[in-house]
Amino acid sequence: MYELLKFNITDRVSFENCLEVRKQVFIGEQGISSELEYDDDHVNAEYILIMSEGRPVATCRWRITEKGIKLERFAVMKSGRKKGLGTILVDEALKSVLPLGMKVYVHSQEGAVGFYIKKRFEISGNSFTEAGIKHYFMEYTE
């Protein structure tokens, strides 16, 4: 059974759990530098965290930017993969942001493009490199 939490950075315990997931996935597995990954003190974001048996297994955040609402930092621990947790994160994020009536987008890593297409996102423009990884700008379409 999973527990879903939505919060902002003031919930330090939940926030630290998010960072643990991101550390394992982005820094440990993908080799992204901690300087690029840990920008949370400089952005105003809302977070979603999935816990399993008291342990963090998946997280993401969303924030308002000049382009609309950016869904980002989607990360699922190895132990939680292929269990639908990414779908839960996207669905919960969309429930939170769609009522705001703004454009919703992601910077999808190349390997996740197919996942986002299934969630009704479309590629817009050419690929670009972010944190040394090929990405695509993808916009949500209703």
Cα 53–chain centre separation: 21
Range of the domain at 58: 2-101
Q: Tell me, yes or no, whether 51 lies in a domain.
A: yes
- For tokens 């992204």, what's the residue? 32
Strand 133-140 relative to strand 104-109, pairing: antiparallel
If one counts the domains in the chain, the total is: 1
Q: Which long-range contacts (CB under 8 A, 24 or more apart) does 67-70 make?
A: 67/103, 67/105, 68/102, 68/103, 68/104, 68/105, 69/97, 69/100, 69/102, 69/103, 69/104, 69/105, 70/105, 70/106, 70/107
Each residue's pLDDT expressed in tens, for the chain with a length of 142 residues? 899 999 999 999 999 999 999 999 999 999 998 877 877 777 899 999 999 999 999 999 999 999 999 999 999 999 999 999 999 999 999 999 999 999 999 999 999 999 999 999 999 999 999 999 999 999 999 8
Q: Tell me, yes or no, whether 129 lies in a domain.
A: no
CATH at residue 84: 3.40.630.30
pTM above 0.85, yes or no: yes
Please state, in angstroms and rounded to a whole number, the distance separating the CA atoms of residues 18 and 15.
Answer: 5
63-74 per-residue burial string, b: 16 or more CB within 10 A, e: under 16: beeeeebbbbbb
Q: Tell me, yes or no, whether 116 lies in a domain.
A: no
- Asked whether 61 and 73 are in contact (CB, 8 A), the reply is yes
Q: Tell me, yes or no, whether 88 lies in a domain.
A: yes
Q: Tell me, yes or no, whether 136 lies in a domain.
A: no
- Asked whether 71 and 39 are in contact (CB, 8 A), the reply is no
How large is the C-alpha radius of gyration of the chain?
14
Q: Tell me, yes or no, whether 57 lies in a domain.
A: yes
Q: Tell me, yes or no, whether 111 lies in a domain.
A: no
Q: Tell me, yes or no, whether 126 lies in a domain.
A: no
Q: Return left, alpha or beta for 93; rule: phi > 0 is left, psi -120 to 50 is alpha, else beta.
A: alpha
